[in-house]
Amino acid sequence: MKIVMIGTGYVGLVSGACFADARHEVVGVDRDAGKIDRLHHGEIPIHEPGLDALVAANVAAGRLTFTTELAEALPGAEAIFLAVGTPTRGEDGHADLSYVFSAVDELAGGMTDYAVIVSKSTVPVGTGDRIEERIRQRRPDLAFDVASSPEFLREGSAIADFANPDRIVVGTGSERAAAILRAVYQPIARDGAPILFMSRRSAELTKYAANAFLATKITFINEIADFCEKVGADVDDVSRAVGLDPRIGGRFLQAGPGYGGSCFPKDTLALLRNGEAFGSTLQIVETVVSVNERRKRQMVNRIVDACGGSVAGRRIALLGVTFKPNTDDMRESPSIPIARQLGELGARLSAYDPVGRARAMQLPAFAAVDWHDDPLAAIDGADAAVIITEWDEFRHLDLAAMAARMAQPLLIDLRNVFRPDAAAAAGLTYLSIGRPRAAPAGADLADGPDGMVSIPHRAPASA
Ligand code: UGA
């Protein structure tokens, strides 16, 4: 089947390449001529494991092509996917649908035959209705359907997530559209993933509800981690034990510096605004958004406290800056407020990230950072090292070598990469999230009652 994929960002490029790999004929369309030019030269604009090989193989097989000209791509297409960005609009939290509507207007001008237009972009409930009205107004003659089929892939594991989905969601009231989308997804659903057909609004809401629930799970365990610190409990033990109850499930229960990325922060906010527009209050989501924002800003207090109350003039090494491992995406990364506030407080920053450097360097928060090509070089002579992103390679760091190279052997691990006893044995004073702190024998630990970790509740520094 011929598929047009409008947008060659994370979702569009991965989905397009995977559909092509499933033996569909796919044309990826993007207005950004530079991007299309790079794709024509085999350059992948994002860092996503396996994507370069997948794109290359399918381009070589003639199943995947790219163009800036939508009109050229449309003839013969039965399914047209919208995979354009829906970022937060200004400061009001609403999803910005301008990319969606501009693609829709172009479609209304260029379509000649029936096709189903499918939103893969994450959009507020009711957007499908608006798209349909918009096209119908301009083209009362045109036969078409508008469906919603949200995407659940994660950056860093996008190809595996797309190719082996837990479920495929299709929202449409049209038999004709349903039949086309069944054929589109059939090769991917072959391994047993159910295709769930539902109304368009239910599909739109499913995506927001899924992301908001995952964000809630993370925020919940982060609060439990704070409580663990007060009482000397270990959040990793608690999380594991809680998660083994299948009613709860162990995934997305890893405590950390707060969720970031291009999806959870924007989608939780957009869900709130979408709820308001329909007169529905989503109090839990509202709390999750504010608790997570506060948490990201508070991380710097931990670092300052660990450094004895001031970081002025101290050398602090940041290990990992992307919002999660296996991506170069910096959007809403917890590292941004951390770097910005540490800089404002007078710290001298060095950093290492396997792939995030180029994007991070474009952000003002990282303007004065001294970048290094390996983690040990970044921590050389540092007064503290802070793990912000749990890149796999950090798990293999030689802790004793780290301790030996630092001016002060202080490791603040915001992702619980290491075991406290192993870090202490290597000579490091070690602080992690929701676990008792650890230090080499003889080192002074206690800053709270009974030697427990006590992070003072301060007003968050300005962000
Ligand atoms: C998220 C969803 O997981 C995908 O299902 C969805 O398709 C995608 O958003 C989207 O809407 O496009 P993504 O943002 O790529 O995917 O990354 P996640 O793996 O979900 O991580 C998001 C944030 O949560 C990261 O900052 C990560 O460090 C944090 N996180 C995740 C935790 O702090 N703890 C966890 O246990 C899991």
Residue type, 417: V
- 28 is written with which tokens? 């990826």
Kindly give, in sequence order, each residue whose CB lies less than 8 Å from that of residue 267, ignoring residues fewer than 6 positions away.
Answer: 122, 207, 208, 211, 212, 215
Centre of ligand 1 from the C-alpha of residue 283, in Å: 21
The preferred substitution site among 264, 268, 391 for testing ligand 1, maximizing ligand atoms within 8 Å of CB, is: 264
Say if ligand 1 is within 6 A of residue 299 CB.
no
Give the distance from CA 285 to its chain's centroid. 18
> pLDDT value at position 205?
98
In angstroms, the CA 99 to CA 255 distance is: 34
Are the CB atoms for 26 and 19 separated by under 8 Å?
Answer: yes
Q: What is the pLDDT of residues 4-19, one digit of tens each?
A: 999 999 999 999 999 9
Sheet of strand 384-387: strand arrangement: 370-371, 348-352, 315-319, 384-387, 410-413, 429-431
> pLDDT value at position 445?
56
Kindly give, in sequence order, each residue whose CB lies less than 8 Å from that of residue 306, ignoring residues fewer than 6 positions away.
Answer: 384, 410, 412, 429, 431
Say if ligand 1 is within 6 A of residue 391 CB.
no
Please list the residues that pair with 3 across neighbouring strands.
26, 79
Q: What is the pLDDT of residues 112-122, one digit of tens each?
A: 999 999 999 99
30, 76, 241 from 16: Cα distances, Å: 12, 17, 39
Please list the residues that pair with 28 across neighbouring strands.
5, 66
> pLDDT value at position 463?
34
Please list the residues that pair with 170 across neighbouring strands.
197
Nearest to 136 by CA among 111, 167, 154: 111
Kindly give, in sequence order, each residue whose CB lies less than 8 Å from that of residue 179, ignoring residues fewer than 6 positions away.
Answer: none
Q: Where are the alpha helices (DSSP H) in 323-452?
A: 335-344, 357-360, 375-379, 399-405, 420-425
Is 169 in a helix, a strand, or coil?
A: strand
For the entire predicted model, the pTM comes to 0.93
List the chain residues with pLDDT less than 50.
446, 448-463
Say if ligand 1 is within 6 A of residue 162 CB.
no
Mean of all residue pLDDT scores within the chain? 94
Residue type, 82: L
Return the active site residues: 263
> pLDDT value at position 460?
36
Say if ligand 1 is within 6 A of residue 214 CB.
yes
* Residue with CA at minimum distance from ligand 1 atom 13: 154
Centre of ligand 1 from the C-alpha of residue 445, in Å: 34
The preferred substitution site among 216, 263, 296, 389 for testing ligand 1, maximizing ligand atoms within 8 Å of CB, is: 263
